[in-house]
């Protein structure tokens, strides 16, 4: 009688395990909100003991901060993919604004609202939120400056134009938690019309895909 050999379990490296924990916490933060992410919840999702989570993250504050950074970094990379860096600035900005208006990024709006609220009471999260805001400002300002150099955009203040566009994005994102979202044609085109006005573009340029 022959015995069936047992399947060997591959032990994950510390880096792999940490990444797995962060991926799970970031997903849960997007789906349920930062304040509902706990060591126990992440452990349950992974089928491990909470002690394993605390081995890699000393406090829940550490885990939440790193999970937030991972979530918004991945979303930012999806909004401004590196693969599109060679596209004309008008096309890049048009795609960015179009993606933000899609359902795929509703959870991202909720996460930013959530993080900004919680950061009032969590100094470390406040610092992290400010850092991620600065990274997004730099990324969008770089696209605008590229467009100015090429003669596509007209503005004397690329950073100022960036800030106005981001404020419009945040303004629309503030409705992300509404069950019955107020709709109006002006809201459907707000991001495009704001950016077009700030950058000296003809109306419809960005909405038409550049």
pLDDT at 7: 47
Domains of the chain: residue spans and CATH: 12-79 (1.10.357.10), 85-210 (1.10.357)
For the chain (210 residues), the mean pLDDT of every run of 10, in chain order, is 53 89 91 91 95 94 93 91 95 94 77 91 95 96 97 98 95 69 78 96 88
DSSP state, 35? G
pLDDT at 2: 53
- Residue among 23, 14, 24 at smallest CA distance from 56: 14
CA distance 58 to 54: 5
CA 112 to chain centre: 8
What pLDDT is recorded for position 44?
Answer: 95
- Please, is 21 exposed, middle or buried when counting C-beta atoms within 10 Å of its C-beta (0-12, 13-18, 19+)? buried
**pTM confidence score:** 0.85
Q: What is the model's pLDDT at position 94?
A: 96
d(CA 59, CA 53): 9
What the block records as the tokens of 196 is: 């077009």
Q: Which two tokens stand for residue 132?
A: 């991620």
């Amino acid at each position: 009688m022959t015995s069936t050999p047992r399947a060997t379990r591959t032990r994950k490296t510390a880096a792999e395990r940490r990444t797995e924990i962060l991926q799970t916490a970031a997903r849960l933060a997007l789906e349920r909100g930062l304040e509902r992410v706990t060591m126990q919840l992440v452990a349950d999702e992974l089928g491990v003991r909470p002690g394993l989570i605390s081995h890699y993250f000393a406090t829940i504050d550490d885990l939440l901060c790193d999970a937030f950074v991972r979530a918004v970094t991945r979303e930012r990379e999806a909004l401004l993919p590196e693969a599109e860096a060679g596209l004309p600035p008008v096309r890049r900005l048009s795609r960015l604004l179009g993606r933000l208006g899609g359902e795929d990024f509703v959870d991202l709006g909720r996460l930013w609202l959530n993080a900004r609220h919680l950061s009032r009471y969590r100094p470390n999260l406040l610092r992290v939120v400010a850092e991620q805001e600065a990274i997004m400002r730099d990324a969008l300002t770089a696209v605008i400056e590229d467009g100015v150099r090429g003669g596509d955009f007209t503005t004397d203040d690329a950073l100022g134009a960036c800030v106005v566009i981001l404020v419009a994005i945040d303004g629309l994102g503030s409705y992300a938690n509404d069950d019955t979202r107020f709709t109006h044609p002006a809201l459907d085109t707000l991001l495009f019309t704001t950016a077009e006005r700030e950058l000296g573009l003809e109306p419809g340029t960005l909405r038409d895909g550049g």
